[in-house]
Structure 1
Amino acid sequence: MASITLENIAKVYPGGTRAVSDINLDIADGEFIVLVGPSGCGKSTLLRMVAGLETISDGQARIGDKTVNTVEPADRDIAMVFQNYALYPHMSVYNNLAYGLKNRKTPKNEIDRRIRAAAKMLEIEQYLERKPRALSGGQRQRVAMGRAIVREPKAFLFDEPLSNLDAKLRVSMRGEIKHLQKRLGTTSIYVTHDQLEAMTLADRLVVLNAGRIEQIGTPLEVYHKPASTFVANFIGSPAMNLLSAELNGDRLAVGYNVLDMTRDLPVDGLLTVGIRAEDLQVAEDPAAQTITAKLDYVEELGATRLAHCLIGEQSLTAALSPAIPLSDEMRFSIDPAKLHFYDRETGKRIHSRSATVTA
């Protein structure tokens, strides 16, 4: 196992297209890092640079104490799991697992030991003599993971390994990957565009946007304190409500709603206010200070009901208990500590020591 360090990493393709810019990231030995972001944000490119499948235009990449910029992929002591499994169709599962070890001149008895151990761990012992075409998608993905495990590498690199699986199987497989990584303690970098997958797997998230890092933090840090409107909109389902507002002194206007505030924000004027759907509660106290919105439509999700509302032309979504009655006009009380403030121009978080709504 080993730590991974990326210093000022950049990738520029011929013609000047910049896919990745100024990436700085320290990954601890044994840590599970998830790179998450929309398609085209540079996450797979960054992973491939760590693997050696893409050249690094600028900066340094280290695995352990070794700089690997010019080291061949086969010599980096990493193992990669792809979304398309990349299994040899003419070989049995056993030989797929053995192939890389044979190329490294690993002794035959050691190859067999590693394969048997990995097969038992992944519960694919009964499939060792089958060809990949005789396996389900989930079984093929386990074989692909087994091929990485038998290498006993310093790091695992996962490039959207579950994207070809159906929704139910994805849930069970991500649990298996998390359990397996904790059991092996191997440093891992995992790429996905699925924010739920990212939240459930990561020790830390790295949220990427247009080739740059927007935020690094634990899943809960990123969820509860998004560093930008991009992160707030990307992480969480439903996305955080982001509303245009105007702050004048101690009064915050959100559409036709005006809230009195005691706050310590270094700004005045137009800004963006964010609030999570689950942080909106139907007001029961008639004297409470509230946000009023018109009910537009409802999504029934079983344990939760999403009430989609409008404040003028701005959308507001509240996650409510199905037991709570709805009306054409909804009044929501606000937990002041859970309001988020963002610069209208840059989208960056506005930090304050306190921000409370007063009745």
Structure 2
Amino acid sequence: MSKISLKDVRKTYGGDIEVIKGVSLDIDDGELVVLVGPSGCGKSTLLRMIAGLEAITSGEIAIGDRVVNRLEPSDRDIAMVFQNYALYPHMSVRQNLAYGLKNRNVPKAEIDQRIQSAARSLEIEPFLDRKPRQLSGGQRQRVAMGRAIVREPAAFLFDEPLSNLDAKLRVQMRVEIKRLQRSLATTSVYVTHDQMEAMTLADKLVVLNGGRIEQMGSPIDLYEKPATTFVASFIGSPSMNLIKVNAESGITMPSNISAAAGSMTIGIRPEDLHLADAEQAGSFGAKVRVQAVELVGAESYVYGALTDGQTIIFRVAGRSNFALDRECHVQADPDKLHLFAPDGKRIDPN
């Protein structure tokens, strides 16, 4: 059993600088939870507290059935994968994988079996006798993961492990991490600032903001029903359009929400906006002047300005031939709108 539980965990520096502000979180056995948020939100600090690399100020952290607040990192039965690989440069891949097991007096036959099994899973068997300097960045990250796997820990902790890789390798490695985590069924906590990485990897997504949990749930739940404008703007690429409706914006609103629109922020995903020749009754509509077009392959994102200068983004299929400064009209169905109160919290129509 390797459930991880955090109860009202706090971290304060210098007596009055609180960076983790009462985080409570349950991570189920075998679940992959991703902590995501902007720089300075507390995600890496929280991970280091779970690992025991950072002392907690108050609260409780349990791994399995043990409260680990006062346990050393080596006694917590966790394995951590860092962004800088942390491999011993003078050792071969095989020696790097074996090092932690030898320190725990694991029998040699078992060490060899664990290394072969991990190397086979990670496809690094041909590199076992090479030194880290003879490997590519992606191969070194596989070795770092292999060193965690051979430990057979209660939990894996990943601290932005893919941030040093190029874009193509990041995609390849996050698929590999997801596959391995599912096959090993080991409880995992993964930290990243990359919301695309978070969306594709997570069983449960936890968005942190200023040392607090802003929202948590499945990736699709957070994408389709963001609880706040912060989550709406952070999850999704490009992010959700957040529009302040006023007399100068040139926006038409569905009649059922138009009366209150002045005090709300309206959210619309770029893919939920479509071009229209004429205004359709009951829809959200806006006149847009094209400012930039971003081609991303099979589709394009058009960046435009409303009449009051607010930016709005919408998606069109294929290679767009939109001319700059062209005026067009975009619309969205009422059920695609997200409504947020002045304090940034979501308003559900019913």
**TM tier relative to shorter chain:** over 0.9
Separation (CA, whole Å) in 2 of partners of 1:287 and 1:347: 29
User: Are residues 1:20 and 2:16 paired?
Assistant: no
- Alignment match, 1:108: 108
Q: Who is 1:72 aligned against?
A: 72
TM-score (norm. length: structure 1): 0.92
SS of residue matched to 2:245: strand
Indicate conservation of the 8 Å contact 2:293/2:320, yes or no: no
Match of 2:267 in 1: 274
Q: Which residue of 2 aligns with 1:294?
A: 289
Structure 1: which 4+ aligned runs deviate by more than 6 Å? none
Partners of 1:304 and 1:322 within 8 A in 2: yes
Identity between Structure 1 and Structure 2 (%): 58
Go from structure 1 to structure 2 and tell me whether the alpha carbon gap of 1:193 and 1:287 turns closer, same or farther (over 3 Å shift): closer
| RMSD (CA atoms) | 1.8
Q: Indicate the residue corresponding to 1:140 in structure 2.
A: 140
Residue 41 of structure 1 contacts residue 211 of structure 1 at CA under 8 Å; is this kept in 2? yes
Q: What corresponds to 2:300 in structure 1?
A: 305
Contact 2:295–2:320 (CA under 8 A) maintained in structure 1 = no
Contact 1:160 1:191 in 2 (8 A): yes
Pick closer, same or farther for the CA change 1:52–1:284 going to 2, 3 Å: same
Gaps of 5+ in 2: none
Measure how far apart 1:140 and its partner are. 0.6
Kindly report which structure 2 residues correspond to 1:222-237, keeping only aligned pairs within 5 A, or say none. 222-237=222-237
Residues 46-84 of structure 1: CA deviation (Å, up to 9, x unaligned) = 000000000011110111111110011101001000000
Please, which of 336, 339, 350 is the counterpart of residue 338 of structure 1?
336
Deviation at 1:17, TM superposition (A): 1.6
> Cα gap change, 1:283/1:268 in structure 2, threshold over 3 Å: closer, same or farther?
closer
Q: Which runs of 5+ in 1 are unaligned?
A: 247-252, 354-359
Counterpart CA distance in 1 for 2:117 and 2:147 is 12
How many residues are treated as equivalent by the alignment?
345
Instruction: Identify the range of structure 1 (284-293 vs 108-117) with the bigger mean alpha-carbon deviation.
Output: 284-293
Structure 1 pair 49/323, CA: closer, same or farther in 2 (3 Å)? closer
* TM-score, normalised with respect to structure 2: 0.94
Match of 1:243 in 2: 243
The equivalent residue for 2:251 is 257
**Secondary structure, aligned partner of 1:262:** helix
Q: Does 1:316 align with 2:309?
A: no
2:99 is paired with a residue of what secondary structure?
Answer: helix
- For residues 294-343 of structure 1, what are the alpha-carbon distances to aligned partners after superposition, in whole Å with 9 as ceiling and x for unaligned? 22221122211111111121000001113677472211121111111112
Structure 1 residues 317 and 268, CA gap change in structure 2 (3 angstroms): closer
Maintained 8 Å contact 2:297/2:319: no
Q: 1:356 maps to what in 2?
A: none
Aligned 8 A contact 2:300 2:320 in 1: no
Contact in 2 for aligned 1:264/1:352 (Cα 8 Å) = no
Output the CA distance in 2 between the equivalents of 1:264 and 1:4. Answer: 46
| Counterparts in 2 of 1:42 and 1:287: CA distance versus 1, 3 Å | closer
What CA distance in whole angstroms lies between the structure 2 residues aligned with 1:285 and 1:268? 22
Q: Deviations over 1:3-28 (max 9, x none)?
A: 11111011101242211111011111
**What is the distance in 1 between the residues matched to 2:297 and 2:94?**
44
Other structure's SS at 1:6 match: strand
Q: Tell me if 1:128 matches 2:156.
A: no
1:350 aligns with 2:330: no
